[in-house]
């Protein structure tokens, strides 16, 4: 019997424990992996918020030794990864626990890659470059948006080249993700907005990705519904934990979708922009999202109509151009209600920078699953529209 390999779809996911207090079970899972000594990866902000202490206490209660590594920037850097790998080896660790947003989790994944291969992290850019299993990895996200705790993505910043590079492999899908909505209660307003818009873009791009399928579609659409219904409410009522739980669930659903369907031009261009200016990833997404949707719409109009319906836009009786206009305006209104009014020019980007940004975006793996095939000139034009 013959079959069309282009129609096959994979779906990978960690073991997921969702709910308030799940962070405190970390030692149970570390024990399952035979933890002798844990490398606990976080950052100064998460440590100051008090969440690292909960992990330390859990490990201490079960007599599991650990070493703390918190030298992680907002956009984790190659040198931080390699330093963390040195700490892991010197301390004799055999399990990694990451608690924080996408930065500590991506750094922890990259440390695992470096120690498993005993090579520099720069050697693993691209898709399916990992040849050895990384150490057991347990992740506890403290933001609701990046979904690094469930994804097969690693995003690292190369400060020397002023670029971010991607590593995509099922080998970096964490073994366990302890998703605890309580940990998001200490996020400031800007971080809440950045991670929230990132989750929304994950869902949208996963749904129109050329790698989408029935399983990813279901998660992407539910993520859009949850996020659309709760993001603005969260910004106005940041201490409403019930709303934060819904957003955490939306972020999880979006993560399961994009990890398996991959993403598109928003993320390819956002990675380039974030590496160039060292800007928060969610902010880059917010600046670019409606411009990329406008560019992509005609390549998948029926899919974008489904997105519009998921975002509670009444499309009855509307023509396709009207749906396009309504969807783009909805995205603009949503991001502005969340506090995003920036353009590229406001962050110092000029016309002379667009070719460099576009070249790096075209090298990003996310561009490969964008619904509309994109040339260098196409990407440059979209960046120009976001100026």
Q: At 385, is the pLDDT very low, low, confident or very high (cuts 50, 70, 90)?
A: very high
Give tens-digit pLDDT for 86-132.
999 999 999 999 999 999 999 999 999 999 999 999 999 999 999 99
pLDDT of 3 reads: 66
Give tens-digit pLDDT for 264-321.
999 999 999 999 998 899 999 999 999 999 999 999 999 999 999 999 999 999 999 9
3-state secondary structure of 43: coil
Q: Of the candidates 385, 184, 159, 155, which has an alpha carbon nearest to the alpha carbon of residue 292?
A: 385
| Domains of the chain, each with CATH number or no CATH | 7-184 (3.40.50.1970), 187-385 (1.20.1090.10)
Report the distance separating Cα 197 and Cα 203, nearest Å: 10
- Average pLDDT of every residue of the chain: 95
Report the distance separating Cα 176 and Cα 197, nearest Å: 25
Q: DSSP letter string over 84-112? A: HHHHHHHHT--EEEEEESHHHHHHHHHHH
Report the distance separating Cα 59 and Cα 366, nearest Å: 37
pLDDT of 59 reads: 98
pLDDT of 363 reads: 95
Q: Of the candidates 366, 131, 341, which has an alpha carbon nearest to the alpha carbon of residue 264?
A: 366
pLDDT value at 5 more than 80: no
Do residues 39 and 87 touch, judged by C-beta distance below 8 A?
yes
pLDDT value at 1 more than 80: no
pTM to 2 decimal places: 0.94
Matching residue, tokens 């079960």: 62
Q: Of the candidates 145, 149, 164, 152, which has an alpha carbon nearest to the alpha carbon of residue 279?
A: 164
Give tens-digit pLDDT for 219-247.
999 999 999 999 999 999 998 999 999 99
| Alpha carbon 262 to chain centroid, angstroms | 11
Do residues 252 and 145 touch, judged by C-beta distance below 8 A?
no
Give tens-digit pLDDT for 352-368.
999 999 999 999 999 99
pLDDT of 203 reads: 98
* Burial of residue 94, with CB atoms counted within 10 A of its CB: 0-12 exposed, 13-18 middle, 19 or more buried: middle
pLDDT of 2 reads: 66
């Amino acid at each position: 019997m013959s079959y069309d390999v282009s129609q096959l779809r994979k779906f990978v996911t960690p073991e997921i424990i969702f709910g308030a207090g799940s962070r405190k079970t970390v030692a149970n899972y570390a024990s399952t992996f035979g933890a002798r000594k844990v490398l606990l990866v976080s950052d100064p902000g998460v440590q100051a918020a008090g969440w690292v202490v909960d992990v330390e206490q859990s490990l201490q209660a079960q007599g599991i030794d650990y070493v703390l590594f918190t030298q992680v920037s907002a956009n984790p850097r190659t040198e931080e990864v390699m330093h963390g790998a040195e700490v892991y080896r010197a301390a004799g660790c055999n399990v990694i626990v990451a608690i924080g947003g996408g930065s500590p989790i991506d750094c922890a994944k990259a440390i695992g890659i470096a120690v498993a291969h005993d090579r520099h992290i720069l050697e693993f850019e691209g898709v399916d470059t990992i040849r050895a299993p990384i150490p057991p990895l347990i992740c506890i996200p403290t933001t609701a948006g990046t979904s690094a705790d469930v994804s097969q993505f690693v995003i690292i910043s190369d400060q020397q080249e002023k670029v971010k590079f991607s590593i995509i492999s099922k080998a970096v899908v964490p073994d366990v993700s302890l998703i605890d909505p309580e940990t998001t209660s200490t996020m400031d307003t800007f971080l809440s907005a950045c991670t929230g818009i990132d989750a929304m873009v994950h869902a949208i791009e996963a749904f129109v990705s050329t790698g989408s399928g029935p399983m990813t579609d279901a998660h992407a659409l539910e993520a859009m519904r949850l996020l659309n219904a709760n993001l603005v409410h969260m910004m106005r009522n940041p201490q409403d934990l019930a709303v934060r739980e819904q957003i955490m669930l939306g972020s999880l659903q979006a993560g399961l979708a994009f990890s398996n369907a991959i993403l598109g031009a928003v993320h390819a261009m956002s990675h380039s922009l974030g590496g160039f200016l060292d800007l928060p990833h969610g902010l880059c997404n917010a600046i670019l999202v409606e411009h990329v949707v406008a560019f992509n719409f005609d390549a998948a109009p029926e899919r974008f109509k489904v997105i519009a319906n998921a975002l509670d836009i009444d499309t009855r009786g509307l023509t396709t151009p009207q749906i396009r206009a309504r969807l783009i305006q909805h995205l603009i209104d949503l991001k502005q209600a969340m506090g995003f009014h920036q353009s590229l020019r406001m962050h110092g980007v000029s016309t002379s920078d667009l070719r460099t940004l576009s070249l790096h975006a075209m090298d990003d793996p996310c561009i490969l699953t964008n619904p509309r095939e994109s040339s260098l000139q196409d990407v440059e034009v979209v960046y120009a529209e976001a100026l």
